[in-house]
Chains A and B, each alone.
Chain A
Amino acid sequence: MAKLLLIEDDAATAEEILGDLRGRGHDVAWAATGPEGAERARGAPWDAIVLDRMLPGLDGLTLLRGLRGAGDRTPALVLSALSDVDERIRGLRAGGDDYLAKPFVLAELAARIEALLRRPADTRETLLRVGSLEIDLIAGTGRRGSRDLDLLPRELTLLEYLMRRSGQVVTRALLFEEVWNYRFTPKSNLIDVHLGRLRRKLEAAGEPPVIHSVRGIGFTLVPDDGPR
């Protein structure tokens, strides 16, 4: 699927990440040191780069700054074992597009890479249609087929986020960050409760489900057959 570069010095961690991403169909190359990573990053076009914050030889953030300075806009995700939360700000400031603190769940990493690879093309669009779902962001209304949905503002934002990424798995942490716009990891059932409400509203008239849980990871919106 996508051509990815992983720059990670810990062989065991790298092996797990490589195994997982390859299992999902990605073509992943591995560099174990900063200088090697920098060389490979410049050597070929990549769809995305995943790099560790602390690398031998050349610090991950310095590497990233170098790439950005040279005009390289390849989406990059920074991994860090540093617990300092300010690290995230530093990572993003150095040109990272996303940031993930260790220890992380492999599925979370995969979902975030997907998100980087498939950024919604046009976020200015205000009328969205996925299968039988339709929302009007300006009017603040939603419909499923011919049925009007009674959605709270937050539910509308949630639905919008899922519709823009239909077919993609989004994790709870990603949802919380993007929809609620706060940065911390809430208890897992908190987001589930919100998703459950939205789901009930979407399926209130006995329609087939569109939002599916992905066990241990998060959720995905799968388009149904289309307007009925």
Chain B
Amino acid sequence: MTDRLSELLRSATFRWALGIALWSALLALVMFGFVYWQTAAFLREELAETLRLEVRAAAEDPAGATGRVETWIAMDRHATHYGGVFGRDGVRRAGNLVARPAGLADDGDAARVGATIETADGPIADEIWATALALPDGGTVVIGHDTDEIDRVRTTTLRAMSLGLVPALLLSGLGGLVLASRARRRLAATEAALAEVRRGDLRRRLPVGTRDDEFDRLARDVNRMLDEIERLLEEVRSVGDAVAHDLRTPLTRLRARLERSREQATTVEELRDAIDQGLAWIDQTLAMVTAVLRIGEIEHGRRAAGFSAFDLATVVREAAELFAPLAEDGGVSLGVAVAPGPVPVRGDRDLVFEALANLIDNAVKFTPPGGGVRVGLAETGRFALVSVEDTGPGIPLPERARVFRRFYRAEPARPTPGNGLGLGLVAAIAGLHGFPVEVGEADGGGARFTMLCPRETERGADRRAGRAPERNAAP
């Protein structure tokens, strides 16, 4: 219990709640003060106005001044009205004020002054609000009122404020505690879920409430991040599994072949055959390992140093030309549609060639004899679109997004030899260059791969060659 309390006291939410409680108490104080100030000012002004009217009325009628003052005094039974009529020499002619209050100007305005009042118990000194005006005969008329009423309002208000502050502080503090512990509870659930994730349960997700507040949004964002992490890990795992699996197959064959040859081979020729076969299988595994490493290397973008401007049209033509004999041997016609004239793009010429070679190789491989492969390069404004279409079985819509993944082989591809790394390499190369690569359907139902390459503009080339040296430029 004490642990939980001390944890609560240390928590940021509690401190926020406490801060908010203090702030709201301060706000209440300020509000009270303002209300008090306004009320007191109103009362004071009202009293002053009454006094001003009264003294003016008395001064305007010098003959009736005495009577008016007496009436004013008699008007209030609680002896809070004061007044006096004083002669030119300052001698009192009427009223309950012993003398003209010192320091009171006879300008008809109300002021707070000290005065001596005559009561049944003798004269007493008190603070009063008073006004004075001169009489035509050189005398003065004074009208006053005691300050007790205003003072009482002030005392009451201040007492109410100080008494009210304690429960207000307590209440806001309590409210803060409640809010803090509620926030704590929500966070505790989140923390518990995160601890599970940390311990390795990546399928665990944070609880998301229904309020759609900051907590919920944060939890949802974290959940989305966890989804992505889980997906990536799954991909890494499946790539790892695929590598291990694809390595094991040729290695198992190799082992069996070596073992059998050791027991059974009787001539040098037979042993040599076994070794040749073994070497072929080892080459196959090495090629795969190299391809995996290359994809990783390209994905990490370490080849940007090799970027330069080159003619894409030549690369497309030469890539198609490289595969022409292979396609012809397979009974596949290989058409090339590249407009004359250079198409400058910026990138790694060898890698772009390799990507194209992989696309054309795939297309030729999956096209049955009698079919055709079309390699094209079209220019659309600032871009050049490379396309490779075939008349093969095509790639079903749901599988299109997955073909660029490492080790993925679309179902119809299963019986065809290959390690499932070709398109992964294409995707990695396109990714390194920032060329969007897509797969769709060709007119005849076959696969159509496209790669969109921004043309190298002369301005871009000048900029690079001119002032600022390219960050990636080779030293």
Is B361 within 8 A of A184, CB to CB? no
Number of A-B contacts (CB under 8 A): 54
CB distance from B250 to the nearest CB of A (A): 15
On whether A180 and B325 interact (CB within 8 A), knowing A85-B303, A86-B303, A187-B361, the answer reads: no
Give complex CA distance A187, B296 in Å: 20
CB distance from B419 to the nearest CB of A (A): 11
Give complex CA distance A185, B290 in Å: 10
Name 26 A/B residue pairs within 8 A (Cβ), A-sorted: A83-B294, A83-B296, A83-B297, A84-B297, A84-B302, A85-B294, A86-B302, A86-B303, A86-B306, A89-B305, A89-B306, A89-B474, A103-B286, A180-B318, A182-B318, A182-B350, A184-B353, A184-B357, A185-B287, A185-B290, A186-B322, A190-B322, A193-B326, A197-B325, A215-B276, A216-B279
Asked whether any CB of chain B lies closer than 8 Å to the CB of A146, the reply is no
Asked whether any CB of chain A lies closer than 8 Å to the CB of B3, the reply is no
Query: Chain A, 137-152, contact with B by CB distance < 8 Å: what is the 0/1 string?
Result: 0000000000000000
CB distance from A159 to the nearest CB of B (A): 15
CB distance from A187 to the nearest CB of B (A): 7
On whether A180 and B322 interact (CB within 8 A), knowing A83-B294, A84-B297, the answer reads: yes
Is B276 within 8 A of A216, CB to CB? yes
Asked whether any CB of chain B lies closer than 8 Å to the CB of A68, the reply is no
Query: Chain A, 153-192, contact with B by CB distance < 8 Å: what is the 0/1 string?
Result: 0100000000000000000000000001011111101100
Query: Which residues of B306-328 have CB atoms within 8 Å of chain A's CB atoms?
Result: 306, 318, 321-323, 325-326
Q: What are the residues of chain A within 8 A of B290 when measuring CB–CB?
A: 83, 185
CB distance from B366 to the nearest CB of A (A): 15
Is A85 within 8 A of B357, CB to CB? no
Is A182 within 8 A of B302, CB to CB? no
Give complex CA distance A88, B366 in Å: 34
CB distance from B104 to the nearest CB of A (A): 99
Asked whether any CB of chain A lies closer than 8 Å to the CB of B70, the reply is no
Give complex CA distance A12, B409 in Å: 38
5 closest A-B pairs by beta carbon, nearest first, are A83-B293, A193-B325, A183-B350, A184-B354, A182-B353
Asked whether any CB of chain B lies closer than 8 Å to the CB of A3, the reply is no
Of residues A84, A89, A189, which shows the largest number of chain B Cβ atoms within 10 Å of its Cβ?
Answer: A84
Asked whether any CB of chain A lies closer than 8 Å to the CB of B329, the reply is yes
Query: Which residues of B280-300 have CB atoms within 8 Å of chain A's CB atoms?
Result: 283, 286-287, 290, 293-294, 296-297
CB distance from A195 to the nearest CB of B (A): 10
Interface size on B, residues (CB 8 A): 29
A interface, CB within 8 angstroms of B: 83-86, 89, 103, 105, 154, 180, 182-187, 189-190, 193-194, 196-197, 215-216
Beyond A105-B283, A154-B321, 4 extra complex contacts between A and B, CB < 8 Å: A180-B322, A182-B318, A193-B325, A194-B322
Partner of B354, one of A154, A182, A190: A182
Is A186 within 8 A of B357, CB to CB? yes
Residue of A nearest to B351 (CB): A184
Q: What are the residues of chain A within 8 A of B361 when measuring CB–CB?
A: 187
Of residues A84, A85, A154, A196, which shows the largest number of chain B Cβ atoms within 10 Å of its Cβ?
Answer: A85
Q: What are the residues of chain A within 8 A of B321 when measuring CB–CB?
A: 154
Give complex CA distance A182, B305 in Å: 17
CB distance from A188 to the nearest CB of B (A): 8
CB distance from A181 to the nearest CB of B (A): 9
Give complex CA distance A221, B115 in Å: 135
Give complex CA distance A86, B474 in Å: 10
Give complex CA distance A186, B354 in Å: 8
Residue of A nearest to B353 (CB): A182
On whether A86 and B326 interact (CB within 8 A), knowing A182-B350, A183-B350, A215-B276, the answer reads: no
Q: What are the residues of chain A within 8 A of B305 when measuring CB–CB?
A: 86, 89
CB distance from A102 to the nearest CB of B (A): 10
Give complex CA distance A184, B297 in Å: 14
